[in-house]
Amino acid sequence: MMLTGVHVPLITPFDRAGAVAFEVLEELAHQVLAAGAAGVVALGTTAEAGALGAAERARVLDVLNTVCLRRGVPLIAGANTAEDLRELAGHPAVTAALCLVPPFVRPGEDGVVAHFAALAAVSPVPLVVYHVPHRTGQQLSARAVRRLAAIDAVTGIKYAPDAVDADAVDLLTDPPHRFAVLAGTDTLLSPMLALGAHGAIVASAHLATARFVALANAWQAGHADHARPLGHRLARLSTALFAEPNPAVIKGVLHAQGLIPTPAVRLPLLPAAEANIGTAVQSLHDMRTSPARQPVGRAGPC
């Protein structure tokens, strides 16, 4: 399956006792999918997966597998080791695993390619490379991405650079065949889609989900006059939502809307400042009250 459209990497909501609010997680998944998201991502960085216990991670995967099977949409699951990947077996909704480029060690492009070849050899599902150099410390050239795309079972990339640079342009000018380039830097979503990204994995799409979907559809359909101003407004919203480490502000806004029981995050993250939550709430309000444009229909698959 070629991954296209907007996929939402879901937060993990916590109740007042600090436990995972699984029923709320299920509701959030249904809400973003009903608003037009192409699928959801379980156990990504937005989900604070590293702060969850093994039993919590397993149940999150079970809950979202059930939702996605019911709705007939793909589930992407965060998995960074061979053991993580083996745990995805038995979850038929899982279409792909989102695997982080090895962080901190900076193994070089040859090491990254060898790492993903080894993971692909044991994975029960195709892999999506998560390239986020400001977190991993490892840059990847367009040539390295094409080498990754040549590995059997590597089906796409969440491409999250700090800027739309020469490598991004090179990659999207001539993307590998049947290889999904999914924009992963929320504030750069519109220019990445304009260059030809097949879709996106963006946490900001927890809010104003339908607007993010409309943006992707507009660029895919070539309606730049509609997409450009919408992209500007969504970039302002994303900037507000990322004023503090993700997902603190997003959780603060969801809580302010009554959609999750608490805005709590787990250490080492801290709750967002009220001022930053207020700015994001105002940005969301401005987005929803901005003049409506002629709606753009859903485009077909890339």
**Which residues are catalytic, by number?**
130, 158
Please count the other Cβ atoms lying within 10 Å of the Cβ belonging to residue 231: 23
Return the structure tokens found at 35: 């608003």
- How many residues are present in the chain? 302
Q: What is the dihedral of CA 226, 229, 233, 239, to 10 degrees?
A: 110
Closest CA to 123 of 100, 89, 155, 78: 89
- 96-110 as b/e: b if 16+ CB within 10 A: bbbbbbbeeeeeebe
Return the structure tokens found at 55: 């039993």
- Report helix angle 224-241 to 209-221, nearest 10: 140
Q: Is the peptide bond before 247 cis (omega within 30 degrees of 0)?
A: yes
Q: How far apart are the C-alpha atoms of 246 and 48, rounded to whole Å?
A: 9
- Report helix angle 224-241 to 248-256, nearest 10: 100
Q: How far apart are the C-alpha atoms of 302 and 175, rounded to whole Å?
A: 12
Q: How far apart are the C-alpha atoms of 64 and 61, rounded to whole Å?
A: 5
154-159 and 39-42 beta bridge pairing: unpaired
Residue type, 41: V
Closest CA to 196 of 226, 213, 228, 174: 174
Strands (E), 166-298: 180-183, 199-201
